[in-house]
Amino acid sequence: MAAQINPSILSADFARLADEARAVEGADWLHVDVMDNHFVPNLTLGVPVVESLARATETPLDCHLMIEDPDRWAPQYVEAGAGSVTFHVEAAAAPVRLAREIRAKGARAAMALKPATAIEPYEELLPELDMVLIMTVEPGFGGQSFLDLTLPKIRRTRELIGRHGLDLWLQVDGGVSAATIERCAEAGADVFVAGSAVYGAEDPAEAVRSLRDSARKATASAPWACGH
């Protein structure tokens, strides 16, 4: 099981998105935060920009929809070129149907949970998904400090994945850096969204490699990873 690093373009220079995407082409995915100023108090980008990014980079796009009515909009992001689409369970009207539609269109389906949203009520949904995203800050803005209170939820989510024998990625997003990534990996995460830790570095590509190495070392000694 290999750790994956997904740089977040929320921390990139929006005037140079194509260049910023190419600067991290050694990353596993490019994380694209879509915000609508309704579900979260911020407004970023939409389908046309995702279409342009998909043409500008070889790195697959991981679209995180922090929007109202993802049941309506999520399939359009698959059509725009996203390889993975994440919807917030707090906003989805029919999460199982939505996950199946995303998969049917050819993308990985993922479910995100805010820091205060428990994973246990959604245990039965896990087999319908390819990834679970545990937000480690309140969604809406980049550059926030990591919330340690989310670590127990990461552990519980990893336990549920193991209990059901699922091949399910566990992503964390928010405040992920060299100072926090090992704790996340030890708790059970294997996909890491990093914004300012990558795009705030002098060499973004080297930052991706360094974060991946730290996560892999922590994973190798983590009890949950034994046998994987």
70-80 and 47-56 helices, crossing angle to 10°: 20
Average pLDDT over all residues of the chain: 95
Whether 227 shows a pLDDT value over 70: the answer reads no
Whether residue 226 lies inside any domain: the answer is no
pLDDT digits (tens, 9 = 90+) for 88-124: 999 999 999 999 999 999 999 999 999 999 999 999 9
Going from the C-alpha of 210 to that of each of 116, 121, 126, 188, 197, the distances in angstroms are 30, 36, 31, 19, 10
- Residues labelled catalytic: 33, 173
- The pTM (predicted TM-score) of the whole model is 0.95
CATH value at residue 95: 3.20.20.70
**SS3 assignment, position 200:** coil
Residue 140 labelled as part of a binding site: yes
pLDDT tens sequence across 54-87: 999 999 999 999 999 999 999 999 999 999 999 9
> Residue 137 domain-assigned?
yes
Decide if pLDDT at 228 tops 70: no
Which pLDDT band holds residue 141 (cuts at 50, 70, 90)? confident
33 among annotated binding-site residues = yes
Residue 81 CA to residue 58 CA, distance in Å, equals: 11
Is residue 228 assigned to a domain? no
Number of domains in the chain: 1
Q: Is residue 58 part of a domain?
A: yes
- Please tell me the distance from the alpha carbon of residue 215 to that of residue 198, in angstroms, as a whole number: 14
Closest CA to 34 of 75, 73, 2, 64: 64
**Eight-class DSSP state of 108:** E
In a domain, 224, yes or no: no
Tell me whether residue 108 is in a domain: yes
142 annotated ligand-binding residue: yes
Q: Is residue 225 part of a domain?
A: no
> Any binding-site annotation on 8?
yes
Number of H helices, E strands in the chain: 8, 8
Annotated binding-site residue? 31: yes
The parent domain of residue 186 ranges over 2-219
Residue 204 lies in a domain: yes
Cα dihedral: 99, 123, 214, 107 (round 10): -10
Say whether 175 counts as a known binding-site residue. yes
